[in-house]
Chain A
Amino acid sequence: MKAPSFFIDKKEPIIKQRLYNGRKLAVWEGKVKITAIKGWVENPRIELARKTLTRKVGDRQLTQEEIADLMKNDPEVKLMDLRDDIIKNGLREPLTMSFHGKLLDGNRRFFAIKYALETMPITDPNRQDLEIVDAYVLTQDATEKDEQNVLVEENFSASFKIEWPDYIKAMMVVDAFENGLTLEDISVKFNWRKNKVKETLKINEIISEFIMYATSMPDPNDESGGGLGLSEQEAENVAAKNYQYFNEAQKSFFEQIKTDFDFKIQFFKWIYEGKFSSFPEVRIAYKAWKNPEAKSVLMQPDPTAAKSAKAILEYNTRIVHSTDEAAGRIDSFVKFLNEMTSAEMNLLPNRSKENLEMALEIVIKMSRAVTEKTA
């Protein structure tokens, strides 16, 4: 079988089997010069940052250097941490590439190595450990599906690696759905439960509406004040940042978002304003919207408004509970009194009987006063 051309000659590459997403694939294992590898420019991990840069520089293919800069500057990529780890410990896990040199797994590691080489003095003897790295390369007959399995295993499965951001994974699932794949197909393709795929599509439904709203221009003649006037990219960045809050909305009040238009728009405004600082605060958003007291608090610009609204709802729930509890105690006490025989009554100490009489008189008076006031 023919080995890929970019392996270095010093060590003969060998072929072995590896497991990716439940599928055994034949791969070449060998050493590759880092200069022979091209980073994955289209890597979905940096999709949003790439779009932002493309808007600035125009619609052209970004260079390797531009992508490296994007990754260095994206705090979620944590490239500097990985670079420092690689300088200290070397490359712990080989890169994985397609037969034609496309980097399928290890894009972060690849750019971290390049970053390390940039910062290491040319005389540093450790440079050579990073200039030639271990790599797995899929065989020539690997299919597109095999490549997909590598991507899924390395980026959709929970592991010690930094997975792609939720929003990016969701967009890939949505893309697959819009390209006509069934829920079953998508479930297999990304190794996600069908329910998770369904939920992702519902989250996307809310996010799409958010982006539509956010990119609409403000309109003082509109009852809702119109949109937020953001660019498509700005709106998408807000959506990505708040992806898990949209997920919470999907779980807690999807039906209400779809049927109560005013609430939907208000929820979008809250998301944009950064009203929520935790999932439980998002969870109570619709209940707060329906509760005048909690709603008026939530509408305040105070940064702790959502926390206060949540506290109000919880307090109200407790009051209802304790009212129920008081009624329950009274009922059981009345039952106890009704079941008392005159002989048992006679055995009670006078002090107890007087206390009971006094308590009943007070309760009767208070109850009458409240009833009259209400009437």
Chain B
Amino acid sequence: MYFCSKQVFASFKRLASRKDKGKTHLERTSCLMYFFAFDATCKKMNHSLLDLNPDTTEGKKNRKAIELEFTKLVLLERSPQKIIQVTELGKIDYTGQAPEKRISSNFLTVPLKKATEQMEPYFYPRRPPTPMIKLGNVATGLKWGIELHQDWSDSLPKLLSEIKDSTPFTDLAIYVMRDTPLNNKAEDYIDALSTALNERFNPQLAKFWIQRIEREKVLAHHHILSIPFSATYQAFAKSVSDYSVNRFESLNRGVLINYIDHLESTLKANQIKFTELT
């Protein structure tokens, strides 16, 4: 089973920033996604320190692995004509460059390269000062090394503080696990997320995240659908252009209302003004 598209979309749109201007949320989203991609790669490789040296076989392999994890986190749909992805939590981006390119031309180029030349320990991100990962020789012992920063668990909630949402850890986990097959025997969303987080991330991140989700339970029941799951996979950000008008003629009223809800949610998530149908 999977999280149903309605739940994923509702969770996703709650992750939007309270600010309607500025790049802070976009930058913080990137930091979070790099961090999750790094941790998932470590889990997959069974390492706590990764060498991202662009000139060695090992480094190239690790780079590919982290690019792949990043892509899994942000890519919603890809076809030869278009890429639909997330560059900022709560908004869908139809225009940006490919996710692999995004991480390689940003994170793997700018901060990582800069860290190789530093004489002092180099932490990321530097703005806001919420270190999540250590980079470079002085901080990790490897010129192209990348490792978890000891303060990451203090930094993570701060990176989420611009999100208006009252249950950011729960909604973020649902978004991250939107494509993940969930344990069919899971008792509830927390149980399903616990298994999924433990499978995808290192124990310390998974444990921290699950604890936060459990704490948010007191507020989250307002946000979680009575049945948040679906037996089959549903892409939550299917491009509107994929649907032809004829397709709707055979649909019943309930399905159409759900679809209108979905379209309105998309408009709201992207802060596009419209008049709601009553």
Contact = CB atoms under 8 A, between A and B. Distances in A.
Interface of A: 180, 182-183, 201-202, 205, 208-209, 212-213, 215-216, 219, 222-224, 226-227, 255, 258-262, 265
Contact of A182 (B20, B158, B161): B20
9 contacts: A208-B166, A212-B222, A216-B222, A222-B217, A223-B214, A259-B161, A261-B215, A265-B215, A265-B218
B218 A227 contact: yes
A213 B161 contact: no
A258 B160 CA distance: 8
A212 B216 CA distance: 11
Interface in B133-187: 157-158, 160-161, 164, 166
Contacts of B217: 219, 222
Contacts of A205: 18, 164, 166
Nearest to A255: B161
Given A259-B157, A259-B161, A261-B212, A213 B18 contact: no
Given A183-B20, A222-B218, 5 more contacts: A202-B18, A215-B222, A219-B218, A222-B217, A255-B161
Contacts of B126: none
B4 to A, nearest CB: 22
A265 B273 CA distance: 34
B221 interface: yes
A253 to B, nearest CB: 12
Looking at A205, A215, A261, which has the most chain B CB atoms within 10 Å of its CB? A261
B277 interface: no
A255 B157 CA distance: 10
B216 A261 contact: yes
Contacts of A260: 157
Contacts, number: 49
Contact of A180 (B18, B161, B222, B273): B273
Nearest to B222: A212
B218 A224 contact: yes
Ranked nearest first, the 10 interchain pairs of A and B with the lowest CB-CB distance are: A259-B157, A209-B166, A258-B161, A180-B273, A212-B219, A212-B222, A261-B215, A216-B218, A259-B161, A227-B218
B219 A216 contact: yes
A272 to B, nearest CB: 13
B277 to A, nearest CB: 14
Nearest to B156: A259
A235 to B, nearest CB: 12
Interface of B: 18, 20, 157-158, 160-161, 164, 166, 212, 214-219, 221-222, 273-274
Contacts of B214: 223
Contacts of A265: 215, 218
A209 B158 CA distance: 18
A262 B20 CA distance: 28
A208 B18 CA distance: 14
A226 B217 CA distance: 8
Contact of B215 (A182, A183, A201, A262): A262
A218 to B, nearest CB: 10
A182 B19 CA distance: 11
Nearest to B275: A180
Contact of B218 (A180, A208, A226, A259): A226
A5 B140 CA distance: 84
A265 B217 CA distance: 12
Nearest to A201: B18
A261 B219 CA distance: 11
Contacts of A255: 158, 161
B18 A209 contact: no
A223 B215 contact: yes
Contacts of A223: 214-215
A7 B243 CA distance: 59
Looking at A201, A222, A255, A258, which has the most chain B CB atoms within 10 Å of its CB? A258
A259 B216 CA distance: 12
A239 to B, nearest CB: 14
A227 B219 CA distance: 8
A44 to B, nearest CB: 21
Contacts of A208: 166
Contacts of A215: 222
Contacts of A219: 217-218
Nearest to B215: A261
B20 A213 contact: no
A213 B273 contact: no
Contacts of B164: 205
A202 B166 CA distance: 12
B159 to A, nearest CB: 9
Nearest to B211: A223
B130 to A, nearest CB: 10
Looking at B158, B164, B219, which has the most chain A CB atoms within 10 Å of its CB? B219
A331 to B, nearest CB: 32
A174 to B, nearest CB: 12
